[in-house]
Structure 1
Amino acid sequence: MDDLDGQQLQEKLKSSANGLSQTEALRRLAQYGSNELAEKKTNQILKLLTYFWGPIPWMIEAAALLSAVAQHWPDFAIILLLLLANAVIGFWEEHQAGHVIAALKAKLAMKAQVKRDGQWTTLESRELVPGDVIHLRLGDIVPADARLLDGDPPQVDQSALTGESLAVTRQCGDAVFSGSIIRRGEIDAMVYATGANTFFGKTAELVQAADSVSHFQQAVLKIGNVLILLAVALVSVIITVAVLRGDPLLTTLQFALVLTVAAIPVAMPTVLSVTMAVGARLLTKQGAIVTRLAAIEELAGVDVLCSDKTGTLTQNKLTLGDPFSVRSSSLDSSSEDRDPDLVIFTAALASRSDNKDLIDRAVLDGLSDSQRLDNYELIHFQPFDPVHKRTEATVRGLGVR
C-alpha cells in the first residue's frame, strides 16, 4: 500500500480520519492478528533434552554407559548425577530468566493513542489494526506502518531502519515505519500494516532466522572435540591391543572405562553451569536480566560498552529541581519578582497532562495548586522543539477578552 495516496488508502482500508469503531477493530484484530512479531515457542521438554546433546555430554554419556556395562555402579551413579545436575541447572536458570523477561515485556508494553468510536483512547500497541487512526507526538516510537494525515510535517528518526543518523521531515501523505521515532512535531496517522507485515517486521524475521554461537560455546566445543578425538584414539588402541592379546572383554571394557573417565572432564559442565548460575543470581540482584548463562562470559570479555540509552540504564524517573526566576512576568500581577512558584506555574501552562510526557508530568506534579490552571484556556500548543529547546503555548485567562 506504499504506492497509494491518502484518499486511496482510506478507501482501500474502508476507514477515515475518525478511525474505526471498536466492533470493527475487534473484527480486524481477529483477521490480521496482533500487532507484534510472533515469537517461536520452544517445547520445554525438547529444551531440556538439548542439554544432553553435544560433544562433552556425549562423552559423559559414553562413560556412564561403559560404567553400566562394566557394572561399576558407584561410578555410574556419580557420572549420571553430574550429567543431570549440569542439564537441570542450565535449564532452570534460563527458564527462570524467561519468566522475568515475559514479566518485563508486559510491564514495558508500548502504548498508543488511538481513535475508536470517534474518541481518543490509550491502548497497547499490540491491539492496533489496519485502518486505525493514531496520534504521534514528540518522542513516540511509531507502533506500526502508517500514512500521515493532515497536520504539520514532523521530523522522524529512522536510524533503526535505515542507519541514517539525521532525522528526516515527512510530509502529509508520506509513510512512517514501525520502529522509527518522532523527533519533532505531532500529527495523526492511519495504520496500514501491522506485525510481521510491517517494514520492520519483515526485517526482524530475517534476523530471527540467523543463529550464532558464543565465544564461550566455541571454546567448550573445541575442548570437547580435542578430548573426544584423544579418547577415541586411545580407546581404539586399547581395544586393538586387547583383541590381539586375547584379553577378556570385561577387562578390556574396564580399561576403556578408566581411560574414558580420565580423559573426560566429567565435572566441567557442572562446575561451569553452577559458577555462571551464581553469577546470574548476583546480577539479578543488581537489576540485570540474564537470558542465557553463556552471556555472562560474553559480557565479561567486553572492553568498551557504548550505549545511547538512558531510561533503561538509569532510574527512568524525572523530578523537578528548585526553580528560580530571572525576570518577572505579567501573567500574575500579584506575584513578586523572582517567585519560584510563578516559574513552575508558567511552565505548567505550557505543559499538557494528556501527552503523558515525563517532563510535563514532573512540572505539573510540582504545582502547589493545580486548580489555578482552570482559570486559563489553551488556545494553541506547540510541542517541545529540540532545536529551540522549549515548549510553547498560547493561553487565555477565562473572563479576559
Structure 2
Amino acid sequence: MTLIFDNPYPDLTNIPLGINIDKSYVMALLLECLETASPTGYTHTLMNRLSVEAAHLGYKMERNAKGCGYIRVKGSNPNSNRVIALSAHVDTLGAMVRSVHTNGTLRLTSLGGFMANAMENEYCTIHTSSGKSYTGTIMTNQPSVHVFSGARDLKREESVMIVRIDEVVNSKADVEQLGIRTGDYVSFDARPQHLPSGYIKSRHLDDKASVSALFGLLHSMREYNWQPVHDIVIIITNYEEIGHGASFIPQDITEMIAVDMGCIGDDLNCKETDVSICPKDSSGPYDYFMTNRLIALAERESIPYAVDVYPHYGSDASAALRGGNDIRAALIGPGVHASHAMERTHEQAIINTAILLAAYITE
C-alpha cells in the first residue's frame, strides 16, 4: 500500500454545486424523529422507522449486532478507491429506573451526560419491559417552596431527582403492580416546535437534526437523480451518547465525516444559522486535509460556517478512531444552542449541512 502524507484530494472546482435539498421533507422527518422516543439503549422504534424510510427512498438499511444502521450508495466513479462514511446518531439523553421508592416515586440513573437541572420539571415517559408505557414528571425530592425550606438551595444532582408517576400509586407495591421495575427506560418529552422564523426548538436536536440532514441527502439523490462520485455509507448509530456508537464501522471505509451538532457560547464563533466545522475536540485534532476541504467547499457554496474547537465534546468519528479503524475523519454539523438542555437550531443550518455534505461527496 502506498502511504500518502500530503493532500490526497484533487484541486477544488470553482463551479458551485447547484444541488437542491427539500426543506419540507427534512423538516417533516425531523419533527417525526423528535417525537419518537430514543434514549440511548432504547432506539429500536426509531431505527425501524428509519429503515422503512430508507426503503421508501430506494435504499436498504443493514444493521449490525448492536443495531447500528448502514445505508450504502454507489458512486459514479468505478475507479475511485475512496469510501466515505457520513454518520449521525439517533440515540438521545434519557434515564433508567434505578429503584422504586417506598412512596411510589422512582429514582433515576442518567443515560448520557447532562446537568440534573436540565431535566427538572420535565414531562417524561416510562417504557416498561412488557411494552406498556406511563407518563410522569421529573422533579427533585423537594419540589415545593411552600413545603421545603431548602427547596431553592437544594443542589440539583442525580441522587435527589425522582419521577412522579401519573397513576394512583402510594407505595413500591403499587408501582410494581403497574409493571414498572428497575431497568425500565425513561424518555424526556422533546416538545418540538418549528417556528415561522425558521428556528426549531426542542430537546434531542442532538443529533436528530443531523439524521434528518443525511436523509435529506438521500431524498435529494432520488428526487433530482444524482449520485456521489465515490461510494458512500450513511451510518446511523445508536450508542453515541455513551461513547461507542461508531466504534466499529465497515472495513472498506477510508474516510468519515461525523455529522453532529455544533456548540454555541463562550469563545465560540458558531451561531444557530451556521454550519459548524470542528478541527479539534476532546479526542484531539481531526484530519487536516478533510477539515480544510470542508472549509473551502463551504466558502465556494457561500454557506455561513464557523470553525470552532470543542474541549468538552466527542463524536462518532472519535469512537471510530479509538476503535482502531484506519480512516481519516472530520466533524461538522448544524449549530445548536443550549446543547443537552432545551436546544434550538435553525432550518438554514440543517439544510446547509446537507448541501456541504453533497459538495464533499461529489468532488
Give the TM-score band, short-chain normalised: under 0.3
- Ranked by relative contact order (alpha carbons within 8 Å, sequence separation 6 or more), the top structure is 2
TM-score (norm 2): 0.25
More strand by share: 2
Name the one with the larger helix percent.
1
